[in-house]
Amino acid sequence: MTEAESSSPLETITSASRPTLVAVDFSDDSRAALAWASAFSACAGGKLVVLHVVHDPATQPGYYRDGREKSLRPMEHVAEGMLDDFLAELRREHPELTALEKAEKKLLRGLPPSRIVEVAGLINAKLIVIGSRGQTGIPHLMQGSVSERVVELARRPVVVVKAPGNRQLEEKQRKKEEKERKKAEKARKKQEKKAVKAAPAGGQADPGRDRDDG
């Protein structure tokens, strides 16, 4: 049994000698996860390890193709440049996150869930930090299923972080759906009122029809 398996969660996360591992895929949620992990690492002690799993899904081929260059480059080289840019951008946005300055980078090939858990075990991380969901659209590696799978596989604490912007977007979408629902309900009631007005009152016979019959 490893130290991570034998220690309690509290003992694990308060160990100043063990690193904090954060897995990123360059999405908004992983940006929030990296910021959270940096702040936590500064408070809890231990180094910050930033991991990106280089993985080219069959459904998203060419994710690492560098659009700025016509020539093809190894995925690891492109991913390394993207990780450097990702870290540099966050450092500019959050100069107060001092742990980012000394963060250790790791790029490995493989399937994200198993690789993340494997690296956490190899470095004896105190916990794993991961974004809730990856980017929507073409560039996405770390979907919700990945973070869920990491939680299932890991034998140490896992923190799943969601970007504030995503919550705002979800609230906006919820309000939009509610507005559309109310609009549809209003239209339905309006149609019902029209139908009631168009129907013969009290089932009385049409006087004109009586005259025609006579």
% of the chain beyond a pLDDT of 90:
42
155-197, pLDDT tens digit by residue? 999 999 988 765 666 677 678 878 888 888 888 888 888 888 8
Mark whether 49 and 30 lie in a shared domain: yes
% of the chain beyond a pLDDT of 70:
69
Which residue carries 């440049």 as its tokens? 81
Is residue 201, in this structure, part of any structural domain at all?
A: no
Say which CATH number the domain at 21 has. Answer: 3.40.50.620
Q: 208 by DSSP, 3-state: which?
A: helix
pLDDT at position 41 is: 93
Full residue range of the structural domain in which residue 100 is found: 3-162
What total number of domains does the chain contain?
2
Take residue 92 and report the two structure tokens written for it. Answer: 């500019």
Q: Cα(146)–Cα(87) distance, rounded to whole angstroms? A: 22
Residue 156: exposure state from Cβ atoms within 10 A (0-12, 13-18, ≥19): buried
Q: Cα(207)–Cα(204) distance, rounded to whole angstroms? A: 9
- Amino acid sitting at position 183: K
pTM score over 0.85: no
Is residue 87, in this structure, part of any structural domain at all?
A: yes
Is residue 110, in this structure, part of any structural domain at all?
A: yes
Rounded alpha-carbon distances, angstroms, from residue 156 to 3, 16, 52, 64, 116:
10, 15, 19, 31, 12
Mark whether 117 and 149 lie in a shared domain: yes
**φ and ψ at residue 118, rounded to 5 degrees:** -65, -45
Conformation bin of residue 130: beta by default, left when phi > 0, alpha when psi is -120 to 50: beta
Mark whether 25 and 55 lie in a shared domain: yes
Mark whether 30 and 126 lie in a shared domain: yes
